[in-house]
Amino acid sequence: DVKVTQSSRYLVKRTGEKVFLECVQDMDHENMFWYRQDPGLGLRLIYFSYDVKMKEKGDIPEGYSVSREKKERFSLILESASTNQTSMYLCASSFYGETYEQYFGPGTRLTVT
């Protein structure tokens, strides 16, 4: 079974703090993704990576950065957290194959106060 894990299920941070969200997958997948999920907006792609040290902006990259130093690990960084970044953050991974199916982690609910 594919396993995607995220470092925290719940996180509370203060405005202006630097926040690190970490995602690890154990299936040697090439592709990794960070989404945020907000009510009524579905899932929106923040960044994705198709290889180590490679990254591509998604639809809403502003205020975020990412790091992929190892194939299994993809980090999302909020350089200076703001209240409008309060959200559920979901990590996913996929491999190059027939389906490109994405497998999701359990999510991190981040609250910025």
Partner 1 sequence: ELKVEQNPLFLSMQEGKNYTIYCNYSTTSDRLYWYRQDPGKSLESLFVLLSNGAVKQEGRLMASLDTKARLSTLHITAAVHDLSATYFCAVSVAGNQFYFGTGTSLTVIP
* Structure tokens that stand for 2 in this block: 């594919």
* Structure tokens that stand for 17 in this block: 């703090």
Q: Is 31 in the site for partner 1 (CB under 8 A)?
A: yes
Q: Is 1 in the site for partner 1 (CB under 8 A)?
A: no
Supply the minimum distance, in Å, between the C-beta of residue 18 and partner 1: 25
Q: What are the E-state strand segments in 1-113?
A: 4-6, 10-13, 19-25, 31-38, 42-49, 56-57, 64-70, 73-78, 87-94, 103-104, 108-112
Count of residues in contact with partner 1, rule CB under 8 A: 26
Q: Is 101 in the site for partner 1 (CB under 8 A)?
A: yes
Report the C-alpha gap between 21 and 38 in whole angstroms.
17
Q: Is 95 in the site for partner 1 (CB under 8 A)?
A: no
Supply the minimum distance, in Å, between the C-beta of residue 98 and partner 1: 7
Interface residues with partner 1 (CB under 8 A) are 31, 33, 35, 40-45, 48, 50, 58, 90, 92, 94, 96, 98-107
